[in-house]
Amino acid sequence: MPEIFNSVLFFVVAIGVLITFHEYGHYWVARRMGVIVLRFSVGFGPVIWRYQPKNSHTEFVVSAVPLGGYVRMLDESQQEVPEEYLPEAFNRQPLYKRSAIVAAGPLANFLLAGILYGLTFMIGTEGLRPVIGTLMENGLAANSGLMVGDEIRTIDGKSNRSWDEHHFYLLDKIISEETVVYGVENDSEVRIVSVNFGDLEEVDLQSSSIDTVIGMYPATPQIRPIVDRTVAGYPAEAAGLQPGDEIISINNSPVNSWNDLVGLISQTNERVLNVRFSRGGIDQEVLLEPRIVERNGTRVKQIGIAVNAEQQLRDANATVNLRYGFIESLTRGFETMWSTTALTLKMLAGMVTLQQSADSIGGPIAIAEHAGKAAEAGINNYLTFLALLSVSLGILNLLPIPVLDGGHLMFHAYEAISGSPPTERMLIVANQIGLFLLICLMGFAFYNDLARIF
């Protein structure tokens, strides 16, 4: 129940922030263009909160259904407009002003994404040092000349300080099948290695990580099976295991790392485990019965202990802390926003041409689940999630589908070319088609959500 509550809470926060920023883009530009805004709404349906400042035409409201929002402007097509207010009506504005107001919402989402990414760089992130620890035999990295022990200093001339720093950049290059130039150092020897992603026969980015696609993994020390905490109500707590205990063996099979421990627990057929551990230099034993739980549709055995892998990696000098100044953070933030936008557009084009699976399209359930998990993982993960969602919302609204901002811009383009706006009949038919397409898209997203659950 707490997980569901967190997912719903952080979903509402995420959607609220993104919709508010999107609609504020429309509102801000409309006011700068001299257009009267009658209502600024976050959400649809019945109004649950409203506020209208004195001497203002605008009513600010929060509505019951938090899956969208709108800015309603003074417009002769929607209501009768007094003659003295006609110059401030939306429909009386020149085409460039109307187009700017419509485009301002999606552009606000891209702006927000750049700012959010920039905040993550300012806050700072901890990552693994960019040292190659494992190469897949006959993988792209190995065949290109990269070697175990290489520290990746630059990628296409861009400085690289951690393993994951340029993952968005690499994703774009993988989809484009371009060549990337690595600058690496190994035992004071500096080399330049070119990796051509066009040599990849087939890439499944839905189920494979970037590391798997390239065929290389970071150097990481083994995580020792030292208990950092026990989970309340699980067998380890009931058996008396405590923080600081180091697991030595499971059913007389030696445990040298956290991976050994997880593997032995999951693979054993024994109902009861004999767990031998060291506490203060003294070996002790306990008997406990693992609990079977379901994780992402798979039944796994757990005893309810956790290790502090991050601290062990820090102690082994295997991580670096990345934090940048204000200007560099914003620069990197908007570079990441641009890479994410380009990548999303390429993925979308791949879905349209049936070269990419559409299974990754998610609806409210998937978004809520990811929101909860991102928030649990820390503020930077949640900000990154918001930035990704903001880019997706900006792109979605720019699609040339009537009823979306992109559809309105399509009508404006028609007006610019033909010299006159679409007829009322054309608008009605186009909006009906657009609404149908939007319902189909939402239905498909819901289907994917339910398919993941069941």
CA angle 114, 209, 139 (to 5 degrees): 125
User: Residue length, the chain?
Assistant: 454
CA distance 93 to 34: 9
SS3 150: coil
CA angle 56, 58, 63 (to 5 degrees): 145
CA distance 261 to 297: 22
Do strands 319-322 and 125-128 pair parallel, antiparallel, or not at all (unpaired)? antiparallel
- Residue whose structure tokens are 């994404």: 113
Is residue 227 within 8 Å of 246, Cβ to Cβ? yes
Is residue 115 within 8 Å of 202, Cβ to Cβ? no
Span between the terminal Cα atoms of the chain, in Å: 19
Q: Which residues are catalytic?
A: 23
Tokens of 419: 């010299």
Is residue 219 within 8 Å of 132, Cβ to Cβ? yes
Is residue 339 within 8 Å of 155, Cβ to Cβ? no
Residue 271 half-sphere exposure, CB side, CA atoms within 13 Å?
0
Is residue 180 within 8 Å of 173, Cβ to Cβ? yes
CA angle 279, 284, 289 (to 5 degrees): 110
Concatenating the DSSP letter of every residue in 417-447 gives HHSSPPPHHHHHHHHHHHHHHHHHHHHHHHH
Tokens of 284: 């002790």
Look at residues 4, 1, 43, 54 and name the one whose alpha carbon lies nearest to residue 20: 43
CA distance 150 to 133: 8
Strand partners, 229: 306
